[in-house]
Structure 1
Amino acid sequence: MSPRKRITMHNHAAEASLFKSRALFTFLCVIVLLSLLVANLYRLQISSYKDYTTRSNDNRIRVVPVAPSRGLIYDRHGHLLAENRPFYTLEVIPEKAVNLDDSLNELASIIEITDDEREEFAKTLKFHRRFKPLPLKNRLTEEQVATFSVNQHRFPGFYVEAGLKRHYPYEHLLTHALGYVGKINTRDREILERNDEWQFYPATRDIGKQGVEKFYESLLHGKPGHLEEEVNNRGRAIRILNTTAPVPGKDIVLTLDLDLQRKAMELLDGRRGTVVAIDPRDGGILALVSSPSYDPNLFVHGISSKGYNALLNDTSRPLVNRASQGQYSPASTIKPMMAILGLEEKVITDRTRIWDPGFWQIPGVEHKYRDWKRWGHGWVDLYHALIDSCDTYFYDLAYKVGIDKIANFMGDFGFGDSTGIDIYEESKGNLPSKDWKRLRYNQPWYVGDTISVGIGQGYWTVTPLQLANATAILANKGKRFTPHLLKALKDENVTLDTPIEELPPIVLENNKHWDSVNEAMRQSASKARFSDAKYTAAMKTGTAQVFTVRQDAKYDKDNVDERLRDNALIVAYAPFENPKIVLAVVIENAGFGGASAGPVARALLDEYLLRDDWKNQ
């Protein structure tokens, strides 16, 4: 008997339901996937179109920043003081160089590379990123450029970079006024980033380091441009697509008088000293000389460590701007201001006389404060005290006025504070007071301290710039301006004068006091260096002690170390009736002010006031 066949019953309804659910799930998956595809296409083609286009262009287009041309600097008569000159630099990208040491040795056989250049290169290479270019030799000659170009195929990673570099045609003559530019270092970059200015330096390697170059960096630098070039897959440029020209820096005109500056440097003749000349009518600096000086071009291309250390360790301190940073005892040059203070406080009058036996004593104290004239001047009034520079008269005046009034009044003349000149290298000097001594030395103020201050000695120090500025206020009878170097901005063929900053004047209770003191200064000049001048001048000399002489000792310059001899000072202005120039001259360790600094002041006033007469002869 055969087995019975098994009969399978199909549930068509269940199968249909299962098929539908599977079909629906598959359809939904397809819809979701298509939606994702469409959404992604929308993102790629519409939402992120610009982003991906930019990324694509980045692989095809290279943006190269273009450095702007730095603004030029002129003196008040149009003489070019700072210019831009073409330069060629041999540079190396270390990671592209093949056997760097051998390449350097082979290169030295066709182009002279000094030991200092090799040493400086090796020193910098230790801390340098190897994919960035590193200068090997600056200021290549055209012959050296041609020689290297012929042999460049032998030196992969080496190339010549051309550009413009700052150049100072008058070298050491204007260094402390103009300053210089140098390579941007880490500190410079931090400051630029902090001030949100780094964006303007993508192609610039140099920045103002000192003087006018630093103070007016934002005007002189300009704004960078760029060019877009198409490159192939190897980074080789194919064509230039677009160019945006850089905006050059503004040309500036300074108040400096080049001929006067040159004359002042010649007169100092290498001696340690300084000359500051101001136009009292607006505060413009006519000359700002510090001697000895140095060539700022050394810093433009990068000074060697050996060269910088030589300047840094020079005992004559050429790196210091003596005009605005040097601090000296003002000595007798401040006696005119002391006289005005005495007149204003009614401590003295024009006719007040004292007896000068050659010394002065604090009542009840044995110590004698000596006059420069050991046998004294006899009976002295205000005019003779200023003309003959009688120390005893001003000892007595300082004692009667007191340090508090001296400090307050002299502060109005700008002592003890920055003048506001448009360079950063400026010292405030020191205008002593009771509070200052307590903070500085934790000691009380003594009457003897006041006596020394009365003749510009003791704790009182000034900069020559402050001294010239104070004398300008005196010549102007209280009218004050902020000393400045910037005169105008040049825009193509148009020169725009910059505003003059006039400060609130010093107002005296009796304006005749100005006349009394200025008249004494005029008489002082007419009896000394300016007796035969074609103009009327006013002056006050000073001789500042560098160290204190014992009570019973006599100063003998022949037996004193040269660096300990007295400093020679003079302040002067002319013409007396309508001042056009004010001078402050300081010559270190030169002795008596009238004998050493006086001839310099006379020659400079002649140069400035009589040059037209000389030209017409």
Structure 2
Amino acid sequence: MSFHRRSIKDSRGESTLFRMRALVGFGLILLGLSALVVRYSYLQVQRHDEFALRSENNRVKPRAIPPARGLIFDRNGVLLADNVPAFRLEVVPEQVPDMPALLAQIRDVVPLGDDDIDAFKKQLKQNRRFDSVPLKLRLTEDEIARFAINRWRFPGVDVVPYLTRRYPYGPLFAHVVGYVGRIDADDLGRLDADRYKGTSHVGRSGLERSYEDMLHGEPGYELVEVNADGRTQRVLETHAPTPGKNLYLSIDVRVQKATTDAFQGRPGSAVAIDPRNGQVMAMVSVPSFDPNLFVNGISKADYTAYITAEDKPLLNRALKSAYQPGSTVKPFLALGGLEYGIRRPEDTVLSTGEFCIPGQQRCYRDDERGGNGVVNMVRAIQLSTNTYFYKLALDMGIDRLSAWMGSLGFGRKTGIDLEGEAVGILPSREWKATRSKFGWFPGETVIAGIGQGYWNVTTLQLAHVTATFAGHGTPYAPRLVMATAAVKEKPVPLPNPATGPSLIRKPSEWNVVNQGMEAVVTGGTAKAIFIGFPYRVAGKSGTAERFSRRTNDYDTNRNTAYLAARHRAWFIGYTPTEAPRIAVAAMLEAGAWGAADAGPIVRKTMEAWIATQGGAVPAPSEKDAGAATLPVGPGVPAPAEDLEDVPVATPADMPAGVPSESSSAAPPDDGGHP
């Protein structure tokens, strides 16, 4: 008989175990719920504002609205720089999974040049991935239509409207107004990121750069609702930008165009200034360039053509190039002689054709063989007698000569409201000491008296000094912008007070020099140029050597082509002499004679100015030739052409090889002819 054991069920133990498990499970559930409640409270209560903002930002995004750039007008309200609507193709990098593939595919829809791709890749490195980057500017209507049809193929790419800069007069104001260009990596470091949000262009040259702060304005923004793909659904809120201020220039389009046309394509520059206030009425540099090509990125071919051109169209000759002034400095040197008491108007000098420094064998020539005879100050200015000014410079000495000419404005910036102005060179001991181990020599003082040697001036400087003299010695810094205006507001004039008291002590001293400059026009080198002009004109020609003489060809070869290859032609003038209202300086880089070549440019500038005043310019006639002739003494000849400037013979003790820092002039030579 077998015996079977049967286990007895422990109901009480099982019940206790179940109860413990249930309590543990409930505790875990309660703990989990508590943690969930705590976390929910943390997220939904304590950090509610933060996450609500994040959520809203995923749905609503701010988009910068760049301000409209201020416009630029001439003095009569003629538009010189405009904003025109255009469309561009933009890409948001973070929404493009494969950028190289996109660029390859989109070229089949919208033609892209290598310049477009290069510019886009550069900006990709400069911008954040969520910022829109322009791929192509100035889309045509056909390109916009083709992209609209294929838009679904290119996520993150869109056509965006914008305002682009346009210069209606193209090359006519390129060196004055300048141009804008795309913002690059160098600009990002100097520009205020907040102020330039959404802005793609910045002033690069001219007034566009100098007045960038005024022209740019303040950006606005709009809040847009986007979907999960980041596409805009609607605009929720808009805060309009503040447009930049408009600029009103003192330049007159008619005077600017007439002056430019007068050059007939020959390289040179001219500046016209109102002596009463310093306002620039014309500022011309020939040749020029088309600023519209630079706005949205100039092509490599166009840029290469500009920088390799022999006549350097990108160079602002009026502002940045300095040249030897030749005899145009003689009236101002004569004024210095009067101011220092070194000369009286009636003092005379015998001009025999050459001038010798005591103790030296080599002499300095007048251009007129045999000289001009006995000349006083007025006649010396009229005939541009070198001997008179050789002796005056030597008697004055380089220290006083430099101090006086410097007080007029030579050797320093004029203070015009444009960046990049050249300083030029005012001959002085200090200037030479920083460039040569040799001391100052008397021969260098002598040739400084006729605007040769180390001298270098810009056309703007010479126009400024001429205007200062025409204004009876009261200096004004040249100004291009005479007023600014916010949108829908009247223009506000910009003050331009005199920079100092008159530099001329006695009105009689001004009258003497003015009489000499009038004689240049009525009976001197410029007599034939201003026949029939309705107002009295005072002027001075200058024919500066571009190269030193090493042969006698100058004496035997007087044909125009030869002389034009050797000379730089200058003419300065102002009118009407009884109350000057316009002063002009004109320069031709290659001209046979100052009066014959540069004089007509000054006349045409003055004629255009008269026309803007409502006056009529009469046609020249021979019978008017002597109507306004100013007598300056018996026996004064009236040269048929400008022969006043001569290549100088420098003394043997003068060092060679000291650079003149002119844009094209050769350094002064220690050789010459007695």
Taking structure 1 as the reference length, the TM-score comes to: 0.87
Alignment size in residue pairs: 579
Q: 2:342 is matched with which residue?
A: 347
- Equivalent position SS for 1:425: coil
Unaligned runs of 5+ in 2: 1-29, 620-674
Of stretches 84-93 and 249-258 in structure 1, the one that deviates more from structure 2 is: 84-93
Partner-residue secondary structure (3-state), 1:568? strand
CA distance in structure 2 between the aligned counterparts of 1:445 and 1:36, rounded to whole angstroms: 93
**TM-score, normalised via structure 2 length:** 0.80
Match status 1:544 vs 2:544: yes
CA contact (8 A) 2:607 2:617 kept: no
Alpha-carbon distance between aligned partners in 1 of 2:329 and 2:404, rounded to the nearest angstrom: 12
Contact 2:415 2:477 in 1 (8 A): yes
Superposed displacement of residue 111, structure 1: 4.8
Give the RMSD, CA atoms, in angstroms.
3.0
Using the alignment, how far apart are the partners of 2:41 and 2:247 within structure 1? 57
2:231 paired residue among 220, 223, 236: 236
1:74-85 correspondence runs (5 A): 74-85=73-84
Q: 2:152 aligns to what?
A: 153
Q: Give yes or no for contact 1:368–1:551 (8 Å, CA) kept in 2.
A: no
Distance 2:118 2:203 in 1: 26
Q: Which amino acid aligns with 2:469?
A: L
CA deviation map 1:113-164 (0-9, x unaligned): 5xxx235515753783494655444322223322332233344554323211
For residue 117 of structure 2, what is the aligned residue in structure 1? 121
- Closer, same or farther in 2 for the Cα pair 1:228/1:110, shift >3 Å? closer
What secondary structure is seen at the aligned counterpart in 1 of 2:320?
coil
* Distance in 2 (alpha carbons) for counterparts of 1:456 and 1:514: 21
Partner of 1:440: helix, strand, or coil?
Answer: coil
C-alpha displacement of 1:375: 2.6
Q: Secondary structure, in 3 states, of the residue corresponding to 1:218? A: helix
1:421 to 408, 416, 429: 416
Residue deviations 1:482-517, cap 9 Å, x none? 111111112314121111231112344433111110
Give the Å deviation of 1:524. 1.6
Asked if 1:480 corresponds to 2:481, the answer is no
Structure 1 contact 412–506 (Cα < 8 Å) conserved: no
- The 1:599/1:540 distance shift into structure 2, 3 A limit, reads same
Q: CA deviation at 1:285?
A: 0.6
Q: 1:8-49 deviations in whole A, cap 9, x for unaligned? A: xxxxxxxxxxxxxxxxxxxxxx9xx99999899589746x65
Q: Tell me the residue number matched to 2:306.
A: 311
Structure 1 residues 515-594: aligned runs within 5 Å: 515-527=511-523, 528=527, 529-550=529-550, 554=554, 556=557, 564-594=565-595
Moved more, 562-571 or 120-129: 120-129
Instruction: Name the CA distance, whole Å, in 2 between partners of 1:105 and 1:56.
Output: 36
Displacement of 1:240 after TM fit? Answer: 2.3
Partner of 1:498 in structure 2?
494
CA drift at 1:474: 0.6
Q: Secondary structure at the match of 2:359?
A: coil
In the other structure, the counterpart of 1:3 is: none
Q: Structure 1 pair 36/470, CA: closer, same or farther in 2 (3 Å)?
A: farther
Q: Secondary structure, in 3 states, of the residue corresponding to 1:188?
A: helix
Alignment partner of 1:511 out of 503, 507, 510? 507
Cα distance in 2 between the residues matched to 1:103 and 1:41: 46
Residues 550 and 280 of structure 1: CA distance in aligned 2, closer, same or farther (over 3 Å)? same
* Structure 1 residue identity aligned to 2:615: D
Tell me the residue number matched to 2:143. Answer: 144
Q: 1:89-128 residue pairs with structure 2 within 5 A? A: 89-92=88-91, 111-113=110-112, 117-118=113-114, 120-122=116-118, 125=121, 128=124
Check if 1:226 corresponds to 2:227.
no
Q: Where does residue 20 of structure 1 map in the other structure?
A: none
**1:371 counterpart (362, 366, 370):** 366
In 2, the alpha carbon distance for the partners of 1:202 and 1:562 equals: 57
CA distance in 1, matches of 2:201, 2:371: 60
Q: Residue deviations 1:175-221, cap 9 Å, x none?
A: 110011001112222122xxxx3320011010011111111111110
- Equivalent in 443, 447, 452 of residue 448 of structure 1: 443
Change (3 A) 1:478 1:393: same
Q: Percent identity?
A: 38
Provide the residue aligned with 2:179 in structure 1.
180
1:433 paired residue number: 428
Question: Cα distance, 1:87 vs. partner?
Answer: 1.4
Give 1:8's aligned residue: none
Find the residue that maps to 2:181 and give its secondary structure.
Answer: strand
C-alpha deviation, 1:99, in angstroms: 7.1
Q: How many angstroms does 1:89 deviate by?
A: 2.3
Find the aligned partners of 2:370 and 2:220 in 1 and give their Cα distance. 74
8 A Cα contact 2:115 2:299, kept in partner? no
Equivalent-residue separation in structure 2 for 1:36 and 1:365 (angstroms): 108
Deviations 1:328-359 (A, max 9, x none): 11111111110011112222111111111111
Distance 1:173 1:604 in 2: 15
Alpha-carbon spacing, 1:430–1:37, altered in 2? closer, same or farther (3 Å): farther
- Other structure's SS at 1:57 match: helix
Write the distance in 2 (CA, Å) between the matches of 1:450 and 1:304. Answer: 50
Structure 1's unaligned 5+ residue stretches are 1-29
**Which of these residues, 236, 261, 283, is aligned with residue 266 of structure 1?**
261
Deviating more after overlay: 462-471 vs 516-525: 516-525
